[in-house]
Amino acid sequence: MKRIENRYVLTVIYALLTIYALFSVIPFFWTTIQSFKTPRQANSRVPLFIFEPTADNYTDLWLKTIPDDPLLVAAVLVAIFGLLAFVGMQARRFPFPRGYVYLGILAVGFAVLWSIPGYVRTQTFYDYFLNTVIVTFGTICISISIGCLAGYGLARYSGIAGVIILVTALGFRSLPGMAYILPYWWFGQRSGLYDTHILLIITLVAINQPFTIWMLRSFFMNIPKEIEESAMVDGANRLTAFLSVIIPIMWPGIISTALFTLLLAYSDFLLVRILTQSNWTLTVAISKYAAGEDPGHITLAAAAAVSAAVPIIIVVFIFQSQLVKGLTSGAVKG
C-alpha cells in the first residue's frame, strides 16, 4: 500500500495537518467572537471566551434606528428569502420553463432588497451592500453573455488565431491591474462616468474577460461537436443551434464560471477604490474600518468583516460542487 501505517508517524501527520488547519480558521473564529462583544470586553487584557453576546455591533453597522419590533422584521425577511430559495429549488416542478421561475425569483428578491430602506432606517453600509449587488450582478450578466459566445467560438475554431487570442488575453490578465485602472480613472473623469455603477461594471467585465473565456472554453470543449452538428443538419444555423441546443446543456459550466466571476467582482478592491468617490462596494467600505482611534473600532471592524464574509460563504456553501468542478477543470490543467 501507498499509505503510511506506522502509528507514531501518523500521529505526527495529523498533528501537523491540524495545526495548519487551525492556522487557517483561527482568524475567522476569533473575528466572529469579537464581533459579538462590547468594545470593553473585546479590549480585555485576557481574551474572553465566555461572555454575554451582544448584537449591538451589527445593528450599529446596518441600522440608523432599531425598528420597534425587530424580531418581526427579521422573521418577515427570513420568511421571504426562505420562500424564494424554496421556490428556486422546486423550479422544475412548475408547468413552465425554469428560466421564468428564476427570473421571477430574481425580480422579487431585488424588489424586496430595494424596498427595505422604505420600512427600516438603514445605515450607508446597507447602500454599499446594494451597490455590491448591482455591480456583481451586472458584471456576471454581461461577462457571461459575451464570454459564452467567445468561449464557444474558441472551443470550436481550430485556426491559429484562436490560440493567439487566448494567450494574449492571458498575458493582459496577468499584468498588474494598476496599468488599466489609472487610465480608467482618467476616462471616467473625462466622460463623467466616474463614481457610477456603469463604469465599475464595464471595467470589471473587461478585466475578468480573459479568465471567463478560458474557463467557458474548457467547458465547451467537453461538449461533443456532434450535438450541434445534428441540429445544423436539421437546418438550424450555427447561432440558433448554439442558443437552442448547446446553452441548455451548458448550465453547469455557466454556473461554475458565474460563481468565479461573482467571487472576483465581489472581492475587487483596487479598481472600485480608485473609480468611486462615494458609491463604494462592501469591500471598499469595510477597509475604512481597518484604522481608527476610538476603542469601538475593533468590534465594529469585526462585525463589518463578518457581514461581508457571510454572503460569500453562503454562496460557496450552496454551490460548492460547482466550485470544485470549476477548480479541477479550469485551473488545474497546467
Partner 1 sequence: MNRRTFFMFMSPSLLVMLALMVFPLLTSIWLSTQYMTFRNINTPEFVGLANYLEVFEDRKFWQAFTFTMTFIAIAVPAQISVGFLIAVLLDQVSSRIRGIYIAAFLMPFIVVPVVGTLMVKQLFESGGIVAWAYRALLGSRFIFTEQSVKSLILVHSLWAATPFPLIVFFAGLQTLPDELIEASMIDGATRLRQVRHIMIPHLRSLFVFVGLISIMDAYRVFDSVFVLTEQNPIYKAEVMMLYTFRTAMSVQRLGKANAMSVITVVMILVVLVPFLLRTYKEQTEER
**Site residues for partner 1, window 171-200 (CB under 8 A)?**
171-172, 174-180, 182-187, 189-190
Select the residue interacting with partner 1 from 73, 112, 274, 318 (CB under 8 A): 274
Residue among 100 and 269 whose Cβ is closer to partner 1: 269
Residue 313 in the binding site for partner 1 (CB under 8 A) = yes
DSSP letters for 197-209: HHHHHHHHHHHHH
- Report if residue 42 touches partner 1, rule: CB under 8 A: yes
Alpha-carbon Rg for the chain, nearest whole angstrom, is 24
Q: Report, in Å, the least distance between residue 14 CB and partner 1.
A: 7
Instruction: By CB under 8 A, tell whether 141 contacts partner 1.
Output: no
- Which C-beta is closer to partner 1: that of 105 or that of 316? 316
Determine the residue type at 196: T
**AA letter at 49:** F
Position 30 contacts partner 1 (CB under 8 A)? yes
Q: How far is the CB of 92 from partner 1 (least distance, A)?
A: 28
Report which secondary-structure segment, H or E, holds 72: helix 70-89
Output the smallest distance, CB 101 to partner 1, in A. 28
Per the CB < 8 A criterion, the answer to whether 193 and 261 are in contact is: no
**φ/ψ bin of 144: left (φ > 0), alpha (ψ from -120 to 50), beta (otherwise):** alpha
Residues contacting partner 1: total by CB under 8 A: 102
Residue span binding partner 1 (CB under 8 A) among the ranges 10-18, 56-64, 94-102, 105-113: 10-18
Nearest to partner 1 of 19, 107 (CB atom): 19
Q: Which residue in the block uniquely carries the three cell numbers 443551434? A: 241
3-state secondary structure of 268: coil
- Cα 76 to Cα 67: distance, rounded to the nearest angstrom: 13
Q: Which of 72, 269, 314, 321 touches partner 1 by CB under 8 A? A: 269
Q: How far is the CB of 236 from partner 1 (least distance, A)?
A: 14
Residue 71 Cα distances to 67, 74, 75, 77, angstroms: 9, 5, 6, 10
Q: Which of 89, 161, 227, 314 binds partner 1 (CB under 8 A)?
A: 161
Nearer to partner 1, 24 or 278 (CB): 24
Shortest distance (Å) from residue 61 CB to partner 1: 13
* CA gap 239, 165 in Å, rounded: 21
Please give the grid coordinates belonging to residue 272: 472600485
116, β-bridge pairs: none
Contacts with 203 (C-beta within 8 Å, 6 or more apart), sequence order: 180, 181, 184, 271, 275
* 23 scored as a contact of partner 1 (CB under 8 A): yes
Contact call for residue 201 and partner 1 (CB under 8 A): no
* Contact assessment for residue 283 and residue 268, using Cβ atoms and an 8 Å cutoff: yes
Which residues ranging from 47 to 76 are in contact with partner 1 (CB under 8 A)? Answer: 47
Map the footprint of partner 1 across residues 213-232, applying CB under 8 A.
213
